[in-house]
Amino acid sequence: MVDTENIDVTKILELVANKYRREILRLLSLDDRYAYELAKSLNITPRAVTNHLKSLEDYDLVYSEKKSSGIGPDREYFSLDKDISIRITFGQNLFATRVTMLEHEEGDMVDANLQLAAPDKSYKLMDILDGALGELPQIRKQIDILEKETNRYLRKYQGLMLHFSSLLKDKGLETDEIEFLLKLIEQGGRATLNKLCELLNKTEVTINPTITRLKDKSLISTVFIFDEDAQSEEIAYEINTPSVKDVIYQ
């Protein structure tokens, strides 16, 4: 996976809330396509497809390039620009939203000859069916197992968050202080001020009173992290426990 700090979860969810944009993404996951081809598949006007593609292109989810059509002039083909996983899980005492960008790993791509969009003509029909029966149910089963395992850990994680939140509340900490500390713990005990503002959906002005109280209680300290890209130091905060160094530097 790559850094997801700049992914706007709300924007991603707004984009995929539209059924036509979801279908465009699905079709482009199978093969590059041009706008008129997408319009025919979706049974909507080319203008509508163009508008949807622009929305996706503006957020760098798709890109276009001129390619030979094989017949006539070159066409503008659209392709996926990112591999993104979106997960929303909610239930009693359980809520999690996660958007991650995925990197390709060796061996995780299916050979084009095995995709339904471009089958190898040397395969016999029964061989194709046998191959699908041999592979797809097993992979689906593994996905289901991983989903159940993930949900189990999400419930455990949420339960621990509620448990530690209750313990901190019993120690007299305010709600905003508890939320700050738990977000800091999620980041391994240390995080930049900008990151904490993002996670807590607050500005520096609104988060500073919480920081001041936690520092007065000797629960956190100010540290500086060197940003190699900006070639400058960035203000960060760290929980004052011995175990934090082990978590950060392991």
What's the pLDDT at 97? Answer: 81
Report the alpha-carbon distance of residue 111 to residue 132 in Å, rounded.
Answer: 14
pLDDT band of residue 121 (cuts 50, 70, 90) is low
Mean pLDDT of the region 5-18 = 82
Q: What are the CA-CA distances from residue 121 to residues 26, 111, 130, 135, 147 (Å)?
A: 25, 14, 16, 20, 36
Mean pLDDT of the region 45-62 = 94
Q: What is the mean pLDDT of the chain?
A: 84
E-assigned strands of the chain?
33-34, 62-67, 75-80, 84-91, 94-101, 190-192, 220-227, 232-239
Q: In what order do the strands lie in the sheet with 190-192?
A: 190-192, 232-239, 220-227
For the segment 194-234, what is each residue's pLDDT rounded down to a tens digit? Answer: 999 988 989 999 999 999 999 999 999 999 988 777 778 89
Can you give the length of the chain in residues? 250
Residue 156 has pLDDT above 80, yes or no: yes
Mean pLDDT of the region 77-99 = 84
For the segment 144-154, what is each residue's pLDDT rounded down to a tens digit? Answer: 999 899 888 98
pLDDT band of residue 2 (cuts 50, 70, 90) is very low
The CA angle 80-99-151, to the nearest 5 degrees, is 125
**What domains does the chain contain, in order, with CATH numbers?**
9-105 (1.10.10.10), 110-172 (no CATH), 188-249 (1.10.10.10)
Residue 100 has pLDDT above 70, yes or no: yes
Token output for 57: 């292109």
Nearest CA to 66 out of 81, 53, 50, 77 is that of: 77
What's the pLDDT at 6? Answer: 60
